[in-house]
Chain A
Amino acid sequence: MAVAQVLNSEWTKIKSVRSTVWTLTMAFVFTVGLGFLISLLSKDQFSKMNARELQFIDPTLTSFAGTGLGQLAMIVFGVLVVGNEYSTGMIRTSLAAVPRRGAFLFSKIGIATLLAFAVALVTSFVTFFVGQAALGRFKASIGDPGVLRAVFGGALYMTLIAVFAMGVATILRSPMLSLGILMPIFFLIAPILGGVEATRKIAQYLPDQAGTKVMQVVTPENDVAPYGPWGGFGIMVAWAALAVLCGWLVLKNRDA
Chain B
Amino acid sequence: MIEAVGLTKRYGAKTAVYNLSFQVRPGTVTGFLGPNGSGKSTTMRMILGLDRPTAGHVTIGGHAFRDLPNAPRQVGALLDAKAVHGGRSARNHLLSLAQLSGIPASRVDEVLGVVGLQDVAKNRSKGFSLGMGQRLGIAAALLGDPQVLLFDEPVNGLDPEGILWVRNLMKMLASEGRTVFVSSHLMSEMALTAEHLIVIGRGQLLADMSVKDFIAANSAGFARVRTPQTDAAQREKLSAVLTEAGGQVLPEQDGALRVTGLALPRISDLAHEADVRLWELSPHQASLEEAYMRMTQTAVDYRSTDDQLAGFAAQQGPGALLPDAAAPVPQPVPQQGWYAPPPPQPGVPHPGVPGSGPVPADQNPYAQPVQAPVQEAAPTPPSLSKSDDTTPEDAR
Interface residues of A (CB under 8 A from B): 1-2, 5-6, 8-10, 12-13, 16-19, 84-85, 88-93, 95-100, 255-256
Given A12-B95, A97-B71: A89 touches B88 (CB 8 Å cut-off): no
At the interface, yes or no: B101 with Cβ under 8 Å from chain A?
Answer: yes
Cα-based distance from A19 to B126 in the complex (angstroms): 14
Q: Chain B contacts of A88 at CB under 8 A?
A: 82-86
User: Is residue B49 within 8 Å, beta carbon to beta carbon, of the partner chain?
Assistant: yes
- Inter-chain CA distance A18–B87, complex, in Å, is 7
Chain A residues within 8 Å of B66, by CB = 99-100
Interface string of B59-87 (1 = CB under 8 A from A): 00000011111111001010110111111
Judged by a CB distance under 8 angstroms, whether B363 is at the interface is no
Q: Is the CB of A13 within 8 A of B68?
A: no
A9 CA / B93 CA spacing, docked (Å): 10
- Is A16 touching B65 in the complex (CB atoms < 8 A)? no
Chain A residues whose CB sits within 8 angstroms of the CB of B88 once the complex forms: 13, 16-17
The answer to whether A97 and B45 have CB atoms under 8 Å apart is no
- Chain B residues positioned under 8 Å from A256 (CB to CB): 45, 50-51
Distance in angstroms between the alpha carbons of A65 and B100 in the assembled complex: 41
Q: With A and B bound together, what is the CA distance between A198 and B51 in angstroms?
A: 47
CB contacts (< 8 Å) of A16 on chain B: these are 88-89, 92-93, 96
A-contact bits for B84-110, CB 8 A (1 contact / 0 none): 111111001101111111100000000
Given A17-B85, A97-B101: A12 in contact with B92 (beta carbons within 8 A): yes
Complex: A2 Cα to B51 Cα, angstroms: 24
Tell me which residues across on chain A come within 8 A of B100, comparing CB atoms. Answer: 1, 5-6, 9, 97-98
Interface residue ranges of B11-54 to A (CB < 8 Å): 45, 48-52
Does B140 interact with chain A (Cβ within 8 Å)?
yes
Most chain A CB within 10 A, of B67, B87, B96, is at B96
CB pair A12 B99 closer than 8 Å: yes
Distance (Å) between the CB of A80 and the closest chain B CB?
10
- Are the CB atoms of A96 and B50 closer together than 8 Å? yes
CB neighbours of B96 from chain A (8 A): 9-10, 12-13, 16
* Beta-carbon nearest neighbor of A12 in chain B: B96
Q: Are B102 and A92 closer than 8 Å at their CB atoms?
A: no
7 example contacts (A-B, Cβ-Cβ < 8 A) are as follows A1-B100, A9-B96, A17-B85, A92-B50, A93-B84, A98-B71, A99-B65
Q: How far is the CB of B332 from chain A (nearest CB, A)?
A: 47
Q: Which chain B residues border A92 with CB–CB below 8 Å?
A: 45, 48, 50, 79-80, 83
Complex Cα distance, B102 from A8, in Å, reads 9
CB-CB nearest in chain A for B140: A93
Judge whether B83 and A90 touch: CB under 8 Å. Answer: yes
CB-nearest residue of chain B to A16: B92
Q: For A93, list chain B residues within 8 Å (CB).
A: 79-80, 83-84, 97, 140
Contacts of B70 in A (CB 8 A): 1
* B87 close to A97 (CB less than 8 A): no
For B101, list chain A residues within 8 Å (CB). Answer: 1, 5, 97
Whether A8 pairs with B99 at a CB distance below 8 angstroms is yes
Chain B residue with Cβ nearest A14: B96
Q: Which of B122-168 contact A (CB under 8 A)?
A: 140
B102 and A96 contact, CB distance less than 8 A: no
Chain A residues with CB under 8 Å of B140's CB are 93
Interface string of B197-215 (1 = CB under 8 A from A): 0000000000000000000
Q: What 9 pairs between A and B have smallest CB-CB spacing?
A: A89-B83, A16-B92, A255-B51, A9-B99, A12-B96, A99-B66, A256-B50, A8-B99, A17-B87
Docked Cα-Cα span, A6 to B75, in Å, equals 17
Q: Complex: how many Å from CA A100 to CA B66?
A: 7
Complex CA gap A185/B95 in Å reads: 37
What chain A residues lie within 8 Å of B68 (beta carbons)? Answer: 99
Contact check, A255 vs B50: say whether CB atoms are below 8 A apart. Answer: yes
Q: How far is the CB of A9 from the nearest CB of chain B, in Å?
A: 4
Known A-B contacts A13-B88, A255-B52; A97 and B79 likewise in contact (beta carbons under 8 Å):
no
B130 to chain A, nearest CB (A): 14
Task: List chain B residues, Cβ under 8 A from A10.
Answer: 96
Distance (Å) between the CB of A7 and the closest chain B CB? Answer: 9
